[in-house]
Amino acid sequence: MARPFLRVTSVTIGTDRPSELAHFYSELLGWPVSADEPPVPGDPVRGGWAQTRPPDGEPGPTLNFEHERYFVAPVWPAQEGHQTASQHLDVWVEDLEAAVAWAVSRGARLAGVQPQEDVRVMLDPSGHPFCLFL
pLDDT digits (tens, 9 = 90+) for 70-107: 999 999 998 999 999 888 999 999 999 999 999 999 99
Cα 124 from Cα 107, distance rounded (Å): 7
Beta strands in 24-88 (DSSP E): 33-37, 49-52, 62-67
107 and 24 Cβ atoms separated by less than 8 Å = yes
Q: Which pLDDT belongs to residue 85?
A: 87
Domain locations in the chain as residue ranges? 11-69, 85-134
Long-range contacts of 55-60 (CB under 8 A, 24+ apart): 55/30, 55/31, 60/31
pLDDT in tens, 14-37: 999 999 999 999 999 999 999 999
Question: Would you say residue 49 has pLDDT above 90?
Answer: yes
* Domain 11-69: CATH class, spelled out: alpha beta
**Fold (topology level) of 85-134:** 2,3-Dihydroxybiphenyl 1,2-Dioxygenase; domain 1 (3.10.180)
